[in-house]
Structure 1
């Protein structure tokens, strides 16, 4: 499960849908893996406005990854004068696209329910008594 995906997930329980504590889900016992893929500057530039930057900063802190800048980088910061990807863009690419959770759990900050992640796939099916 790519770290980018976590920026769009919330707890599946109905009672958590209306609370701010249900987002972001907090990784526990997470085992990270990196799979190298080609840099796509346009994709990163288009994703930045859609990201909840504060949630991404919390996520990187909880996983022990390098801290993100205080503010979302501007589009101009993502390319050098010669049009090549900047170091900021490369770092964001590694964080958002190449880094993923292989195994572990995702916990809701509101109800505490934990969703298992196995082989990079999170199981969001709830037991019948929690639906």
Structure 2
């Protein structure tokens, strides 16, 4: 599961739908893998406005990526800073969670990730 995907997921438990603590899901005991992909600046420029930057900063710091600024870069800043563009590309598009769990901060439910695929099926008592 790419870290970009994690930025769009929240807890599926019905009781968490109204809670802001259900987003973002927090990685726990994750095994990361990096798959090299050709850089695509246009894709990054199109993705940035759709990303919840605060959630990305939280997730990245929990996984050990500390190079993100507290505020999202503008397209002009990104064009002028090759290192920032490379770091964002690596974080969002090349880094994958292969094994581990994603945990809801509201209810504590853990979604297992196995072979890069998160299992979002809920047991009957949580639906």
The interval holding the TM-score normalised by the smaller chain is over 0.9
Between the aligned partners of 2:29 and 2:83, the Cα distance in structure 1 is 29
SS at the partner of 1:8?
coil
Specify the alignment match of 2:82 in structure 1.
Answer: 86
Runs of at least 5 residues in structure 2 that lack an aligned partner in the other structure: none
Unmatched 5+ residue regions in structure 1? none
Q: Distance in 2 between matches of 1:61 and 1:78?
A: 20
Within-5 A mapping of 1:91-102 = 91-102=87-98
The aligned residue for residue 45 of structure 1 is 45
Match of residue 114 from structure 1: 110
- Please give the TM-score of this superposition, normalised by the length of structure 2: 0.96
Structure 1 residue aligned with 2:21? 21
Distance 2:31 2:55 in 1: 19
| Range with greater deviation from structure 2 (108-117 or 70-79) | 70-79
Name the stretch that deviates more: 30-39 or 62-71.
62-71
After TM superposition, the score normalised by the length of structure 1 is: 0.93
SS at 2:11 equivalent: coil
- Paired residues, what number? 127
SS at match of 2:67: coil
In structure 1, what is the Cα distance between the partners aligned to 2:20 and 2:38?
Answer: 35
